[in-house]
Amino acid sequence: MNSNFSDQAKSIEQLLEMLHSKYEEVKLGGGSARIAKEHEKGKLTARERIAYLIDPQSDFLEIGAFAADGMYEEEGGCPSAGVITGIGYVKSRMCMIVANDATVKAGAWFPMTAKKNLRAQEIAMENRLPVIYLVDSAGVFLPMQNEIFPDKEHFGRQFRNNAKMSAMGIVQIAAIMGSCVAGGAYLPIMSDEAMIVDKTGSIFLAGSYLVKAAIGETIDNETLGGATTHCEISGVTDNKYDSDQACLEAIRNIFDKLGHQPNAGFDRAEPKEPSISPAKLLENFPTERVKPYDMLEVLAGLVDKSSFDEYKKDYGKTLICGTARIDGWAVGIVANQRKIVKTAKGEMQMGGVIYSDSADKAARFIMNCNQRKIPLVFLQDVSGFMVGSKAEHGGIIKDGAKMVNAMANSVVPKFTLLLGNSYGAGNYAMCGKAYDPRLIFAWPTAQMAVMSGASAAKTLLQIKVASLKKKGKVISPENEKELLDEITSKYNEELSPYYAASRLWVDGVIDPRESRKAISMGIEAANHAPIQERFNVGVIQT
């Protein structure tokens, strides 16, 4: 084994160890003590409920596992934003599951909790997936109510989505398995069916203490809003169950009898394994950010064997476009080529940079995929568009706009993987979060920002030094270096894929070897929603 491979293997292994370690920590939610308290009440935890609910040995694609990572530290943290969301299978039916984690601040809603819930509902609405809500929440985290309550993308938006999904014919089933208070009480009751666990589930607009304070009535929570009250007196809930397990079984029985809807008709053949092993895939992707590599070798570890047909392979070489299959599904791939390439004119083009010819090629390829009803997969390792007088005179802005226009107006589902760099307008053109990918995941090697850390730090330093000079302050070379180190450290922290995942700029950070599963499940979900719109790119200059 050569030393370069040894260093590469060690580097990727460290990144994967960090990923798996962080995920194991996140899965503990509020910690072992809090889990034990839930068990003492006869309750399952959120993750245990999901494991019981979904089909045995089936896949669960978690969305937002690292949401709120490193945030709300003054409040004691909020792992996974206090709610578990993801796509799973119940009685072989794909669905979105949303489960409050009562081990984290009693399932209270933080700002990122609202954002994560809305993202789960967005995925369900785009893909026409049934939704299962496992409700166990103390409601809004009051110290931060001003960041959760009133705005368009805040807490109340989920109830609007409940109503919209109902009108769209998307099945929503809710199980009240713990607290369900105040405004949060509307979520399960705006679902198509609401069930409740006896003695542990409760639902009311105001608890017993608030009722006493507001109107002077003395009553306990169970009588006020327990399972017996709402199943036998108010009729708010439909049925009660003796345990979490019995309630979850009832949900499974509902899904066992759901009717089937028309699908989008995306093509799927018998899946084949990639031509290279998962270990080789890791070997082919360097962790050194400036090291060139051949993206085709990475694709060999992602697509089904012998399925890749490259489009215009001798033109626009810094973008690879082509059709392939991933786990049997037909896909169109747009991927940044990171090796240095030579044009027909003998000019050398930097890898990871989008040139005019590459942008033009990608725009045409995206149009073809829309015409043929082929989902698109974008693999990002992009430094941005080419700059300089030659590029500007050649119309890089016009060609870049063509690509962005075609991608933004695409009606086939889009999926994005951030492998390495995701900088500036390159992030946009390669279907960043702002362009509605159905799912977007990052590898542990990814970085996302306006520009690279080194470039940004130098630019920010120049701005800072100029500002100090305007104020008549002189900065020594030593102080300048300290300032540069401070700026670099802060900027590099913001480049991290976990920083992006904590804010839901991506749906999660995944092991590269899980990429095929994520894309396959994403396309399977998208196949539930027939394409209604006609592809139209509007005005594109030629």
Can you say whether residue 265 is alpha, beta or left, with left for phi > 0 and alpha for psi between -120 and 50 degrees? left
Cβ atoms 384, 423 nearer than 8 A: yes
Computed over its alpha carbons, how large is the radius of gyration of the chain? 25
Q: Is the pLDDT of residue 92 over 90?
A: yes
- Residue 438 CB partners (closer than 8 Å, separation 6+): 123, 126, 127, 413, 414, 415, 522, 525, 526
Q: What percent of the chain has pLDDT over 70?
A: 97
Any idea which residue has 């995701």 for tokens? Answer: 422
Q: Is the pLDDT of residue 483 over 50?
A: yes
Q: What percent of the chain has pLDDT over 90?
A: 73
* CA distance linking residue 23 with residue 168, whole number of Å: 35
pLDDT band at 9 (very low <50, low <70, confident <90, very high): confident
Give one DSSP letter per residue of 143-155, joined into a string: GGGGGTSSSTTST
Q: Is the pLDDT of residue 1 over 50?
A: no
Among residues 491, 1, 492, 15, which one has the least CA distance to residue 286? 15
pLDDT band at 3 (very low <50, low <70, confident <90, very high): low
**What's the chain's length in residues?**
542
pLDDT at residue 466, rounded to an integer: 77
The per-residue pLDDT for range 336-385, each reduced to its tens digit, is 999 988 888 888 888 899 999 999 999 999 999 999 999 999 999 999 99
* CA distance linking residue 414 with residue 366, whole number of Å: 10
Lowest average pLDDT, out of 188-202, 377-391, 455-469, 487-501, goes to 455-469
Can you say whether residue 455 is alpha, beta or left, with left for phi > 0 and alpha for psi between -120 and 50 degrees? alpha
Cβ atoms 167, 126 nearer than 8 A: no
Write down the H helix ranges in 181-294.
Answer: 186-189, 208-215, 221-225, 227-228, 244-255, 278-284
Cβ atoms 53, 252 nearer than 8 A: yes
Residue range 18-43: mean pLDDT, rounded: 97
* CA distance linking residue 166 with residue 334, whole number of Å: 36
Q: Is the pLDDT of residue 190 over 60?
A: yes
Residue 407 is inside which H or E element, if any?
helix 396-408
Q: Is the pLDDT of residue 286 over 70?
A: yes
Question: From the CB of residue 360, how many other CB atoms can be counted at a distance below 10 Å?
Answer: 21
Lowest average pLDDT, out of 34-48, 114-128, 199-213, 511-525, goes to 199-213
- Whole-prediction pTM: 0.93
Cβ atoms 203, 188 nearer than 8 A: yes
- Residue 80 CB partners (closer than 8 Å, separation 6+): 26, 29, 64, 65, 66, 67, 68, 101, 104, 116
